């Protein structure tokens, strides 16, 4: 059998206005070539360039003409040229303002092509009037009705009205409650300057109640600066702020996973981070709860599951395993906290055995953490949140019988320093509870590899200060008992200070 050859594409005719001109259906521009040529002459645009992307180029040139005239004009107060039907309402607009929106400009040109016998001449007359500045003298143009369908639930009447108002005012006032709707409206109307203004507002308006919606908006519109700002904000505020509010429930799992993997994540200690994560899981499974549960309630909930296997081994918990793999469970050292982990039956038995074995071998070898291979992802981490009212702030840490104080000092309004120092359990003021049920090492020196990092927000941008990775032998007397100090000069407050360290093999 002979194979049938497909029909070759033939030139077609199409009625355009009152003419009958050739068009080429497979070319990028499927409209009126002669009309395009005439429009290029009116706009002083190269015809060959116009053929590459005629719609965008012509609209862009028209926008330049109208925007040039807008700079020297007051707000239009005369009769509207265009009626826009959208969201069940009719909006009266004027041509110069309308052409700032590429979306509305396209709708207008389509309506012009369908509603007049000679659309090219109508457009040429309109542009000549703009170029010559004879707006008052031009004869009235037939009022056009255009329609825009919007199905985005974020776009309310108020938000859309704000976006249209932006066509007439250089700085329209945007309410933070409406910023998501204005952003969505600006995207649909293709108003880039307004869109970027909304993005900046959102980046500066991050808080527990907005973080989820702003992050999802950044993902939807592929606005990387916004998603990055959300991630950085949550890295600092997940534990100290969001974890204490019901808004913790709204954090998307994808965002939470990114934040947990970040080396910049701030936490007071590993157990505090674990409690925050357990609360998030609890809230995902208990939708009717409208307040952040106390820790005892969370423990009781997970302890109620069948004992035949851990929660993370069950169908409900398997999708959450990547989140908990980000935790550094070997950083949970207190016997009481470790007993709690086993009691709630949340983690697989193999995980708990590994943690216990690591602690046993570290204690047996004088604190050496042979199980830690990578400082960035496995170092023990502790944090201080240095608030405005502090002049000094410190916490005591006990690890394998060694005791350290992490400390922050405010020297003046913009000068701070952060450091850690080894202390004796017999020093005056040492909290006895810290060593009451734990080991006490009598080693005179302890080799420590550490890093101190401080971060704060200033004028919408994160400032970061950090030491290098430093390996130092800590004794009991100065200067060996004290680490290098991280000096910070900043107007930002609060300051999130993080201390990461390991005990290398010595």
Which string of DSSP letters, residue by residue, matches 15-69?
EETTEEEEE-TTSS--S-HHHHHHHHHHHT--HHHHHHSHHHHHHHHHHHHHHHH
**83-91 long-range Cβ contacts below 8 angstroms, 24+ apart:** 83/143, 83/144, 83/145, 83/146, 84/146, 84/147, 84/148, 84/164, 85/145, 85/146, 85/147, 85/148, 86/147, 86/148, 86/149, 86/150, 86/160, 87/150, 87/155, 87/157, 87/160, 89/157, 91/161, 91/164
Q: What is the pLDDT of residue 182?
A: 97
Q: What is the pLDDT of residue 337?
A: 92
Partners of residue 471 on adjacent β-strands: 449
| Structure tokens, 468 | 């290098």
Cα–Cα distances in angstroms (integers) from residue 279 to residues 60, 251, 293, 318, in the given order: 52, 12, 7, 17
Cα–Cα distances in angstroms (integers) from residue 93 to residues 75, 97, 151, 172, in the given order: 11, 7, 22, 16
Q: What is the pLDDT of residue 19?
A: 47
Q: What is the pLDDT of residue 105?
A: 86
Cα–Cα distances in angstroms (integers) from residue 487 to residues 96, 379, 388, 424, 452, in the given order: 56, 22, 17, 25, 10
| Structure tokens, 343 | 């009691």
Sign of the CA dihedral running 18, 22, 25, 29: negative
Rounded CA separation 115/107 (Å): 12
| Contact status, residue 84 vs residue 76, Cβ threshold 8 Å | no
Rounded CA separation 181/219 (Å): 15
Q: What is the pLDDT of residue 109?
A: 81
Q: What is the pLDDT of residue 49?
A: 54
Q: Which residue has the tokens 């104080």?
A: 405
The crossing angle, in degrees rounded to 10, of helices 211-220 and 192-204 is 150
Q: What is the pLDDT of residue 358?
A: 96
Q: What is the pLDDT of residue 106?
A: 86
- Burial label, 366 (beta-carbon count in 10 A; 0-12, 13-18, 19+): middle
Rounded CA separation 271/334 (Å): 9
Q: What is the pLDDT along the chain (506 residues), one digit of tens a residue?
A: 444 444 444 444 444 444 444 343 333 344 454 555 555 555 555 545 544 454 554 555 555 545 554 444 444 556 888 999 999 999 999 888 888 898 998 888 888 777 555 555 555 556 555 545 554 544 555 678 999 999 999 999 999 999 999 999 988 999 999 999 999 999 999 999 999 999 999 999 999 999 999 999 999 999 999 999 999 999 999 999 999 999 999 999 999 999 999 999 999 999 999 999 999 999 999 999 999 999 999 999 999 988 889 999 999 999 999 999 999 999 999 989 999 998 899 999 999 999 999 999 999 999 999 999 999 999 999 999 999 999 999 999 999 999 999 999 999 999 999 999 999 988 887 887 777 777 889 899 999 999 999 999 999 999 999 999 999 999 999 899 999 999 999 999 999 999 999 999 98
| Contact status, residue 343 vs residue 304, Cβ threshold 8 Å | no
Residue 482 DSSP symbol: B
Rounded CA separation 101/188 (Å): 9
Rounded CA separation 58/43 (Å): 8
Q: What is the pLDDT of residue 433?
A: 74
Rounded CA separation 365/362 (Å): 5
Rounded CA separation 331/351 (Å): 13
Q: What is the pLDDT of residue 11?
A: 41
Task: Tell me which architecture the domain covering 380-502 has in CATH.
Answer: Sandwich (2.60)
pTM: 0.83
Rounded CA separation 247/234 (Å): 12
Cα–Cα distances in angstroms (integers) from residue 140 to residues 72, 231, 463, in the given order: 21, 53, 58
Residue 380 DSSP symbol: E
* First-to-last C-alpha distance (Å) of the chain: 84
Residue range(s) of every CATH 2.60.210 domain in the chain: 380-502
| Bond from prior residue into 494 cis (ω within 30 degrees of 0) | yes
Q: Which residue has the tokens 């709630």?
A: 344
């Amino acid at each position: 059998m002979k194979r049938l050859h497909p029909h070759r594409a033939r030139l077609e005719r199409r009625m355009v206005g009152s003419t009958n001109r050739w068009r080429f259906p497979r070319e990028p521009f499927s409209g009126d070539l002669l009309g395009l040529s005439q429009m290029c002459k009116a706009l002083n645009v190269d015809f060959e360039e116009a053929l590459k992307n005629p719609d965008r180029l012509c609209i862009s040139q028209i926008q330049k003409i109208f925007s040039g005239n807008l700079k020297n004009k007051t707000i239009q107060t005369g009769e509207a040229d265009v009626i826009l039907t959208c969201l069940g309402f009719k909006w009266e607009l004027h041509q110069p303002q309308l052409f700032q929106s590429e979306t509305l400009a396209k709708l207008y040109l389509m309506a012009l092509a369908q509603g007049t016998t000679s659309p090219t001449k109508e457009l040429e007359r309109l542009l000549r009037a703009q170029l010559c500045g004879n707006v008052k003298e031009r004869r009235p143009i037939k009022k056009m009705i255009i329609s825009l369908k919007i199905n985005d639930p974020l776009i309310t009447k108020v938000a859309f009205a704000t976006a249209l108002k932006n066509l007439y005012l250089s700085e329209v006032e945007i309410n933070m409650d409406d910023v998501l709707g204005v952003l969505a409206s600006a995207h649909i109307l293709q108003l880039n300057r307004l869109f970027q203004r909304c993005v900046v507002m959102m980046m500066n308006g991050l808080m527990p109640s907005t973080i989820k919606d702003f992050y999802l908006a950044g993902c939807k519109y592929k606005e990387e600066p916004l998603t990055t700002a959300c991630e950085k904000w949550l890295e600092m505020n997940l534990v100290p702020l969001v974890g204490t509010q019901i808004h913790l429930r709204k954090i998307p799992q994808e965002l939470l996973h990114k934040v947990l993997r970040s080396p910049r994540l701030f936490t007071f200690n590993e157990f505090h981070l674990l409690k925050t994560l357990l609360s998030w899981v609890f809230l995902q499974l208990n939708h009717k709860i409208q307040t952040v549960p106390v820790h005892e309630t969370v423990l009781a909930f997970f302890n109620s599951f069948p004992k035949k296997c851990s929660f993370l081994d069950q169908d409900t918990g398997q999708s959450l395993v990547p989140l908990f793999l980000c935790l550094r469970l070997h950083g949970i050292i207190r016997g009481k906290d470790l007993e709690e982990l086993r009691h709630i039956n949340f983690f697989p038995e193999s995980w708990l055995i590994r943690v216990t074995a690591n602690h046993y071998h570290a204690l047996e070898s004088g604190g050496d953490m042979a199980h830690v291979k990578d400082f960035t992802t496995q170092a023990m981490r502790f944090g201080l949140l240095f608030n405005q009212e502090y002049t000094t702030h410190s916490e005591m840490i006990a690890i394998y019988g060694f005791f350290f104080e992490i400390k922050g000092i405010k020297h003046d309004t913009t000068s701070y320093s952060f450091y850690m120092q080894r202390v004796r359990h017999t020093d005056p003021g040492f909290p006895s509870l810290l060593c009451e049920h734990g080991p006490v090492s009598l080693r005179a020196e302890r080799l420590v590899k550490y890093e101190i990092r401080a971060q704060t927000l200033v004028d919408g941008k994160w400032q970061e200060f950090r030491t290098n990775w430093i390996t130092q032998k800590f004794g009991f007397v100065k200067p060996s008992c004290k680490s290098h100090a991280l000096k910070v000069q900043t107007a930002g407050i609060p300051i999130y200070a993080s201390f990461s360290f390991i005990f290398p093999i010595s």
